[in-house]
Amino acid sequence: MFSGRVLLPILISLLTLAGCTTDVAHQPNATQETIMAAPYQTDIAQLSQFINLPAQPAQALWQVRERGVRGNAIGPTDTELVAVLQLDQDILQELEGQLVQQTSPTDLFVAHDFVQPWFPDSVQQVFVSDSAYPEYLKLTGVRYHPSLFAKGSLNNGYVVIADGYALIYLHSM
């Protein structure tokens, strides 16, 4: 049999290891693990699995995140996608002609952490501080319905055009 002097260090080691485990319920599933792990993706073909691409972008920076907590309005399987597409100016003008402007709500505010460091400067600059709501950033660009880009459950959100880029924000609900 083991003595108390041997069991005590083993018990302390086991308790320490038990405190180091991760909460599996909050980990992304295996099929999304690589997508969720990186701050953003650049694979245009993989992006086209999530959204419609009415034109081939020169570059795409994007990320997908699971959102929500059980019991809240957004459930644990809801998803949001943020993509910044670099498009030729002629293509952007053509797309802009097909997009329908959103007017409700008239102003859109986002959390400061919505604007990512990997957004191009011209996209970052359409979100500004507003003294009326200092905890948020106000979108100053024209906001469009995302129907051209929507696919599957990612059919809510908006599109903003900013100096050669289209910012696409889509989420499920």
Asked if residue 15 belongs to a domain, the reply is no
- Nearest to residue 85, comparing CAs of 51, 34, 37? 51
CA 86 to chain centre: 17
Compute the half-sphere exposure of residue 51: CA atoms within 13 Å on the CB side of its CA: 36
Domain of 45, in residue numbers: 25-171
Asked if residue 2 belongs to a domain, the reply is no
Tokens of 100: 């329908």
Percent of the chain scoring above 90 in pLDDT: 64
Edge-to-edge strand list for the sheet holding 136-139? 109-111, 136-139, 127-129
Taking only the tens place, the pLDDT of each residue in 38-90 is 689 999 999 999 999 999 999 999 999 887 655 555 545 688 999 999 999 99
Asked if residue 145 belongs to a domain, the reply is yes
Could you tell me the pLDDT band of residue 9, with boundaries at 50, 70 and 90?
very low
Report strand pairing: 78-86 vs 59-67. Answer: antiparallel
Asked if residue 96 belongs to a domain, the reply is yes
Amino acid type, 160: V
Asked if residue 80 belongs to a domain, the reply is yes
Q: Is 169 helix (H, G, I), strand (E, B) or coil?
A: strand
Asked if residue 5 belongs to a domain, the reply is no
Edge-to-edge strand list for the sheet holding 143-144? 59-67, 78-86, 165-171, 156-162, 143-144
Q: How many domains does the chain have?
A: 1
Asked if residue 18 belongs to a domain, the reply is no
Furthest-apart CA atoms within the chain: distance in Å: 81
Asked if pLDDT for residue 34 goes beyond 70, the answer is: no
Taking only the tens place, the pLDDT of each residue in 101-135 is 998 888 899 999 999 999 999 999 999 999 999 99
CB 67 within 8 A of CB 39: no
Helices (H) and strands (E) in the chain, counts: 5, 8
Asked if residue 19 belongs to a domain, the reply is no
